[in-house]
Amino acid sequence: MVNYRRMRVAGGTYFFTLTLKDRRSDLLVRHIDLLRDALRQVKRRRPFTLSAVVVMPDHLHLLVQMPQGDSNYSARLRDFKALFVKSLRAAGEPIRLNNGGDADIWQARFWEHMIRDEQDFAAHVGYIHFNPVKHGYVQRVMDWPFSSFHRYVRQGALPANWAGGEGLELAGDS
């Protein structure tokens, strides 16, 4: 087995990808309210700043800033996954179990990248918001409802037509 090493910096900002085991599933968007609630619960228990997010049918991307003095993002992601599964069970969603008796919903691991600087941050915000277009779910970023893009527009950080229409604008370009 590969010995994974993860970068852990207290107060750091990280990009994460969490993926369902069944890549054909639409579980995350079908149960978006349960997913959002699980994320809110984790934020209450173990605070962090959610800088950007997009929820796709089978995966989600998060851009998270950890609190000063705290680098334990793994516990937050583990709690998030577990709370979502618990909510699915409570809602009557059939949950398959793996050989170890655990819910067979999420891929075991997650992708993590520590953000290095403002340019890296902007690139990952852009990647997150453009993801529904990249996967062919919508033609314009503004048309995907499960994204922090709409918050960025309300706050004036991005124009509503960002990355839609005539050409691709990159995050940070203005």
CA-CA-CA-CA torsion sign (34, 38, 41, 43): negative
Higher pLDDT, 108 or 41: 41
Return the domain boundaries, the chain.
13-116
CA-CA-CA-CA torsion sign (63, 66, 72, 77): negative
pLDDT in tens, 80-132: 999 999 999 999 999 888 877 778 899 988 899 999 999 999 999 999 999 99
pLDDT in tens, 46-58: 999 999 999 999 9
What CATH superfamily classification does 13-116 receive? Transposase IS200-like (3.30.70.1290)
Burial of 64 (0-12, 13-18, 19+ CB in 10 A): buried
Strand partners, 60: 18, 55
Are the CB atoms for 19 and 34 separated by under 8 Å?
A: no
